[in-house]
Amino acid sequence: MSFIVTLYVPEGIVMAADSRLTMNFQKKLPDGTSLFQSFIASDTNQKLYLINERFGLSLCGEAAINNIPLAGFINTFEERISSNTDVTEIPEALIKYFKEIGNNPRITFHLSGYRVEEGISIPYVYIGHVSESKFLRVNYRNDQIYYGCSWGGDSDIFARLILPARVKKNRGEWKELPYYEIPYNFFTLQDAIDFAIYAIRTTIQTIRFQTRPKTVGGPIDVLVLKPGEQPYWIQKKNYHGENALKEISTRL
């Protein structure tokens, strides 16, 4: 699994994702029962992409199709995107593409970009589910632009932090905990960047101490999209060789 986060605030859009790839399988025991096993396959998996230098795409769910990682398929999909492709065309095209190459894969995606309407750059943020052939624009409500945060993947830790919650008391009654809304509409772009990193970093650090599969981890990639500008990376893992590893070890 994974954890992806997208924030849409007045200054722009921030997308972030972790880099861990885990492999899960069931092992048959001699007594006929099954044992679930999970192990970390990589901490350099790509889940956040810049498509055609214009759109942001993040993925969670199944990390491979036909035993081939998704990164290669995304490169092929990008070749289908031209300079004239509109952001509104991509969600449906992406679902169709994944269904062509896979057996109805369980993949969730976030797709973000801008579209010029009457001379103004309008933000579009979509969440899509390939297996259900569904997608929804999440930053538009009641005929106006909506600011907020969307997430996908292993999100239970983060959800408990920012959504309403309650605890069970000794006598069995439930007590509502204090709840404070987050004013995304007042976020600066830097606030959104900090919040996206906080969401994923907190999930990584919490999972570390829990007795559960370590499905979120590795470097955090962060991509920013702003109206009228080319998207750019705030932080992105890079390829490196032996010398780079030696320099890292020396600094540590």
Instruction: Provide the domain limits for residue 25.
Output: 3-251
How many domains does the chain divide into? 1
Tens digit of each residue's pLDDT, the chain (252 residues): 799 999 999 999 999 999 999 887 677 777 777 776 778 889 999 999 999 999 999 999 998 888 888 988 999 999 999 889 999 999 999 999 999 998 889 999 999 999 999 999 999 999 999 999 999 999 999 999 999 999 999 999 999 999 999 998 888 899 999 999 999 999 999 999 999 999 999 999 999 999 999 999 999 999 999 999 999 999 999 988 877 666 656 665
Tokens representing 202 are 């907190």
What is the CATH number for 97?
Answer: 3.60.20.10
